[in-house]
Amino acid sequence: MNEQIIQVKDLTFKYEPAKNNTLSSVSFAVNKGEWLSVIGNNGAGKSTLALLLIGLLKPQSGSVFVCGMPLNEETKWTIRRHAGIVFQNPDNQFIGATVQDDVAFGMENLNMPVEDMRQRVTEALELVGMLEHREADPSRLSGGQKQRVAIAGVLALHPDLLILDEAFVMLDPRSRRELLATLKQLRAEQGLTILSITHDMNEAAASDRILVLKNGSVANSGLPADIFSEEMDVEAPFSERLRRLLMSKERRTPESYLTESEWIQWLCK
Ligand SMILES: Nc1ncnc2c1ncn2[C@@H]1O[C@H](COP(=O)(O)OP(=O)(O)OP(=O)(O)O)[C@@H](O)[C@H]1O
Ligand SMILES: [Mg+2]
């Protein structure tokens, strides 16, 4: 059986006792090396789920296993060494006076030789395409550059699990594609597992599996092709919207979701 790096069982959470559940009985697992996209409307509970996964919030009931450990007050620090998280708004994530100080910050508690730290900072900044800005003042960077530095800070820790909460929203389309390719490479080379919360359906379409959250519950989970064929209220990628449009006009249509390259094959048939 595949090694599971995240195991969530019957997770229920509410922000205030008198309020309704923000998450109700959420269960799912993520295999080592898998790329899972978590999608769902605004307010579905995606960010809340991310905070629960690294122990920044405490559930009312249910259990979370991350990197083989049950998440609790004792294990949460160890888990955070293995699981890095990057949020949507990078402004709250900066502490250092320069970009490289900032990337090094997370490593400072790991008692690592300075030379190793330097090397990791260089590697991580290179991976996100920010090496030339290593001496820059992080507060002066653009939104997308800040996001890339925040991602470098997490990658420098060599995490087993990377949790991205809309961490690419400020990136231009090309940087987004490049960074996704870099992460895919890290996954192939190092078995990095990725849980990416996203509203970008092209990104979700390129991942291994999609988990759909609706009103705090898991509404569906499966291969991108199945999710986009089944979930009609999900804003599908362009290729699927085209298929649905043709279908509505009763034109010759592929039977199910196709990727862009599958479309080309289909059209040339
Ligand atoms: N700190 C908080 N206190 C009280 N309620 C909160 C808090 N944070 C979020 N909520 C509520 O919990 C629900 C889920 O919010 P969450 O941020 O997890 O949604 P999301 O799926 O990440 O949405 P988005 O796509 O907009 O980022 C929302 O109804 C939100 O108003
Ligand atoms: Mg959110």
Digit-coded pLDDT (tens) for 157-175: 999 999 999 999 989 989 9
Answer whether 0.85 is exceeded by the pTM. yes
Is the CB of residue 153 less than 8 Å from the CB of residue 105? yes
pLDDT at residue 142 greater than cutoff 70:
yes
Count how many domains the chain has: 2
The parent domain of residue 242 ranges over: 237-269
Tokens of 254: 């592929």
Find the ligand nearest to 46 CA.
1
Same-domain status, 174 and 255: no
Same-domain status, 25 and 55: yes
Kindly indicate the confidence band of residue 135, based on its pLDDT and cuts at 50, 70 and 90: very high
What was the pLDDT predicted at 1?
57
Give CA separation, 208 vs 119, 167, 196, 247, in Å: 31, 18, 11, 26
Ligand 1 atom closest to Cα of 15?
Answer: 4
Same-domain status, 133 and 220: yes
Ligand 1 atom closest to Cα of 216?
Answer: 14
User: Ligand 1 pocket by C-beta < 6 Å: which residues?
Assistant: 15, 22, 40, 42-48
pLDDT (average), residues 65-69? 94
pLDDT (average), residues 51-72? 96
Helix and strand element counts for the chain (H, E): 10, 10
Same-domain status, 165 and 249: no
Task: Report the nearest-CA residue for atom 13 of ligand 1.
Answer: 43
What was the pLDDT predicted at 236?
84
What was the pLDDT predicted at 131?
96
What was the pLDDT predicted at 258?
87
Same-domain status, 135 and 245: no
